[in-house]
Structure 1
């Protein structure tokens, strides 16, 4: 009987220890909180830009974008972007067009969702470039990582992975 009681006691201590250790790993660090506060400030006022290192087309593997010009620049409700495109175009477009996704103007249906618990911000907006309707979904993380998904009325969907940083003075 004493062995069973000791075993139960040992098992209880083990369970409590594991639960205590498991709960602490999701606690935000000071750096996470500072990064999140800086990110909120950039999104809600001072502006930011995203430079992507990877393109992930719907059909095919990841494509390294390092050394290829690409950007998404936010200043208030305006966005200026150039993203290289890799994928199939279903309709529209013509010969001689660059093939990338370009837009400079106001965002339509802009929605900013802040998630304090996960320390990230989701931005959704729409834009119209010529006859093409574009829908953007951007996730910004407190560590500077950015994920962008793009749906188009004329092309296959594509995603990008990169870094968000404060908007540079010469781009404002």
Structure 2
């Protein structure tokens, strides 16, 4: 019994080991550096990960989510979306999955649409994770959005959008 316990504990400790550092080629690093420096790129998302709320659960339970989707990971494949950075402006259309609270305006838009200038632009490079962290704000007619983008050397990305 004591041997079984030690084997289980040993297995858990081995499986909890730290991850290996990410290996990035010099070409990948230079390509990523140039993309970030030029501020000219486009991101097409395959997945959305909304906050799980009662409303999102109700939609999931009704069977309205795309095939292969779950309440916290919704497939965007075949669903038009884009995030374009072009110098000092952005053009964004991201589908919105969630519930709006305390909204003062009514709109037929089913997503987040932004077009124009941004402010508070900050770029950080994380050497350990080999990624750029880009943060900025974009104001709409009545909302302000805080956007955080993680750009990886393999040209994968992650976009987080927070609004007021």
TM exceeding 0.5: yes
Does residue 96 of structure 2 align to residue 103 of structure 1? no
Cα distance, 1:95 vs structure 2: 4.3
What TM-score do you get using the length of structure 1 for normalisation? 0.68
* Partner Cα distance (2:24, 2:110) in 1: 42
TM-score by length of 2: 0.71
RMSD of aligned Cα (Å): 1.9
1:17 matched residue in structure 2 = none
Bigger shift: residues 59-68 or 93-102? 93-102
Correspondent of 2:23 among 19, 28, 33? 28
Q: Name which structure has the greater RCO, CA cutoff 8 Å, separation 6+.
A: 1
Cα deviation, residue 61, structure 1 = 1.9
**Residue among 70, 77, 97 paired with 1:86:** 97
Pick from 74, 83, 88: which aligns with 1:72?
83
Q: Distance in 2 between matches of 1:137 and 1:108?
A: 13
Give how far 1:134 is off: 0.5
Structure 1's consecutive aligned runs of 4 or more residues displaced over 6 angstroms after TM superposition are none
Length, aligned pairs only: 128
- Runs of 5+ unmatched residues, structure 2: 1-19, 53-70
The structure richer in strand per residue is 1
